[in-house]
Amino acid sequence: MPIRTSLASALPLAALLLAGPAAAQDQMQMLGEDQVRDFLSGLSEDVRQAVETRDAQQIRQWTQETIADGAVFMVSSEVYRDDERTAFSVANLDKEDLLALQGFGLSSMMDQGGPQLQDVSWEIEVEEVRPIGPNAATVATRITESATIAAPDGQAMAQAGETQAGQAQDVQATGAIRGARFESTSDCHHLIQRAPDGERLQIGMTTCQSRIDMMLRQ
């Protein structure tokens, strides 16, 4: 799609701006492919642990440290149900947007009476790394995610309705939704850059095209 091509082409320019003058490059070791791959591999484990613990403070701290200030995430998504496209969206998010969305999502997950996140999987496959100077690299990845959002039993039964005798009807017979399974694949381009302290890496500008398949559970 044109969106992906135009946005991805902005990454090398941003990386060159981060590369700095030649004199500074000579004094700092090049940002190597292995270093970038190790950083992204660690991200997968960090994300899995964060989701499992549901520790809001830990997730917020991770975002503050891992996402560069000024980073922009440009994401186009298509949602499918039974292989039929049902929705399309384009979003431009900055770091503050991500923190706000995290707060909303975590409060929902931690509400014992609300929907629960189950069977979460998050994997990132690094397809290409192109170091650009000592401070940055452009990276192509494929990110696969899956999760089930399940309603508590009582809520699902309430949606099904009750009989005159006060007994809950069979959920399948009434067509009540017990939850939904989501599986997504995202082809992304990232700018990975050194943090201002020079001691760690951060995620900068990122563009993604995503397909999300949704399966309702009754």
Q: Specify the higher pLDDT residue, 55 or 28.
A: 55
pTM: 0.73
Note the Cα 198 to chain centre separation in Å.
Answer: 25
> Who's near 170: CB < 8 A, 6+ residues apart?
160
Residue (of 121, 69, 74, 120) closest to 96 by Cα position: 69
Average pLDDT of the chain to the nearest whole number: 77
Please write the tens of the pLDDT for every residue from 115-151: 677 788 889 999 999 998 888 999 999 999 998 888 7
Provide the residue ranges of all domains of the chain, joining segments of one domain with +: 2-217
pLDDT reading at 99 higher than 70: yes
Looking at the predicted structure, is the pLDDT value of residue 4 above 70? no
Centroid of chain to Cα 19: 27
pLDDT at residue 76 in the model: 96
Higher local confidence (pLDDT), 174 or 102: 102
For 66, half-sphere exposure in the C-beta direction (CA atoms, 13 angstrom radius) is 17
* CA–CA dist 34, 44 (Å, integer): 16
Q: How far apart are the C-alpha atoms of 55 and 49, rounded to whole Å?
A: 9
The contacts of residue 55 (CB under 8 Å, 6+ apart) are: none
Confidence class of residue 193 from pLDDT cuts 50, 70 and 90? very high
Indicate the CATH number of 2-217 among 3.10.450.50, 3.40.50.300, 3.30.70.20, 1.10.760.10: 3.10.450.50
**For residue 7, with 0-12 CB atoms within 10 Å meaning exposed, 13-18 middle and 19 or more buried, which class applies?**
buried
The pLDDT > 70 percentage for the chain reads: 68
